[in-house]
Structure 1
């Protein structure tokens, strides 16, 4: 409903066919109190009857919702989500096809190999005959997928500090993008407790634990952070909790204010020094 002092209605000053104006009025406006808006719309000459009012209102609200969805999907954090998922898909597909190539090329050439590096060697060959043409073509496709994954990684490294500056500084751009992707967006990540962020990516292990078939996981994808995988096993639970706590704070600052807070890094570094100092004392949490 349009923001005004006369409570004339969201349709005040609009033409019935002005969908953009109606959408903006519904999207950003307000009214001081409820009223019989269909009746007022008829009195104002905006519509002929109540049926026409609700038809126009429906059309305008649907348009407003579609605009909001488009804007949300184009947001920086959503681009990070799509980018990291595409990178992972490209990497996974390249590696799966590289296994297939190793089998096929091994039946054609005397030399054998494996992985994307072997695919690069095969892709550089001059094929002789239709079989080799297909093998070399497959190898070229693998190389293209691998190269695309690295281009996507560069995109993530450039965009993450823009979409989530504090999260990217603490986690690194790629891990920050993974956390945003797993949560479904920066806002969703910012609303999660640190304990949930800590085990993002370990859902299978968590569900197994809840069913009584496995111990509680200490960490999910944050294991890739040096502060977790570089800490001795006895202290990884504490390290994961400390990291998750700071990442949660970083995500909330990025979403709600967006200002850069370098002190978060200093605080995390100090906490990790304390945790790692236990190694010299022979202590550990063993969780």
Structure 2
């Protein structure tokens, strides 16, 4: 075909030059495919949500270990402080329960944020049934509690990071369904682009594949929802409306993911409007109040989004102008410094030339004097 006989069909084109052209085309195509915006990288979201899930499991396991370990010494504390992270903080603060006094009450209140609970801990420590504990065991418990607390603090920071990344990469999806659930959908799909390619029926049962295939195999009822079950909308809906609202929510999630994937300037306007639509649909199922038409809502969203995009572009233009001004000033400063350096070097060379000329004149003056002195010496010697 044409590929095989292409060098023979085109005059002046050798097989070697055709291979070079194909290589260049392949490189340019690969560069175009690889080129992406650093602020829209969804891989960081996938890694963050995976790490967040792993941290939740680890913190829960380690906290249970601290409870079990410190429970031998102060078993009543488990009922008073049920929250894992707070329990570790309280255990680290108390240490040996026999040393807990009224002076420590203020510090306990700061940790548990409840004066009644702090007073209950103090009273329970005085009449506790727990066994005594050696200082070495207490040091190990405090050290492990410190590690669990640091993990909990890191988890909070990671959640804030995930929230900021979702607002950059998928603002509409995070505004509609929340940052964590949106990140789980992106992670399960593999990327935001893959999620945008999925139909609403796939998004609805994303995460419930095992239940789906089991239902298909046994010819039972297929699942109504997957990962989107963790959304607040599904929990608020009545039992008979859960399937309907999950289908509607999956539809809106698909629209939001496509808007986020293919829009040049990411904005949460569409996500907010889609969320309002889901709220109205939920109210319609409960009260029968008819929701607004999709066309009306989308017209409003497009108008607001265009204003937001215009504002963002204005800010970008201002930043670009400021950057150009800074660059211009820097170049002018460099040019002025170069001119000053050039003038100094010219002056130095002129001074060197003048000094060299003076030295030459002195040498010329000294040479005749030496010549005059030589004959006189010769004459004296001859006499």
| Counterpart in the other structure of 2:162 | 156
Are 1:118 and 2:87 counterparts?
yes
Distance 2:86 2:200 in 1: 39
| Counterpart in the other structure of 1:133 | 139
Distance 1:93 1:67 in 2: 41
Distance 1:214 1:105 in 2: 48
Q: Which moved more, 1:159-168 or 1:263-272?
A: 263-272
Contact 2:175 2:268 in 1 (8 A): no
| Counterpart in the other structure of 1:278 | 285
| Counterpart in the other structure of 1:206 | 212
Are 1:95 and 2:65 counterparts?
no
Contact 1:195 1:241 in 2 (8 A): yes
Q: CA RMSD in A?
A: 3.8
| Counterpart in the other structure of 1:85 | 50
Larger helix share, 1 or 2: 2
Contact 1:91 1:145 in 2 (8 A): no
Runs (4+) off by over 4 Å = 32-36, 39-44, 64-75, 125-128
Distance 2:59 2:32 in 1: 36
| Residue 112 of structure 1, CA deviation | 3.6
| Residue 72 of structure 1, CA deviation | 9.5
| Counterpart in the other structure of 1:7 | none
Distance 1:277 1:228 in 2: 14
Q: TM-score, normalised by structure 1?
A: 0.69
Q: Which moved more, 1:245-254 or 1:141-150?
A: 141-150
1:108 to 66, 69, 73: 73
1:76 to 41, 59, 72: 41
Partner SS state of residue 266, structure 1: helix
**Could you say if the C-alpha distance between residues 271 and 178 of structure 1 is closer, same or farther in structure 2, counting changes exceeding 3 Å?**
closer
Distance 1:33 1:151 in 2: 59
Q: Deviations over 1:90-138 (max 9, x none)?
A: 1111011111221111123354425222112123345762222222222
Q: Considering only CA atoms, is the larger Rg found in Structure 1 or Structure 2?
A: 2
**Could you say if the C-alpha distance between residues 247 and 133 of structure 1 is closer, same or farther in structure 2, counting changes exceeding 3 Å?**
same
Unaligned runs of 5+ residues in structure 1 are 1-31, 47-56, 282-287
Matched residues, number? 238
| Residue 189 of structure 1, CA deviation | 0.6
2:180 to 170, 174, 178: 174
| Residue 226 of structure 1, CA deviation | 1.9
Contact 1:199 1:221 in 2 (8 A): yes
**Could you say if the C-alpha distance between residues 227 and 110 of structure 1 is closer, same or farther in structure 2, counting changes exceeding 3 Å?**
closer
Q: Which moved more, 1:208-217 or 1:219-228?
A: 208-217
Distance 1:197 1:216 in 2: 14
Distance 2:236 2:270 in 1: 22
Contact 1:167 1:176 in 2 (8 A): yes
**Could you say if the C-alpha distance between residues 213 and 148 of structure 1 is closer, same or farther in structure 2, counting changes exceeding 3 Å?**
farther
**Could you say if the C-alpha distance between residues 252 and 108 of structure 1 is closer, same or farther in structure 2, counting changes exceeding 3 Å?**
same
Are 1:266 and 2:273 counterparts?
yes
**Could you say if the C-alpha distance between residues 136 and 261 of structure 1 is closer, same or farther in structure 2, counting changes exceeding 3 Å?**
closer
Distance 2:5 2:137 in 1: 75
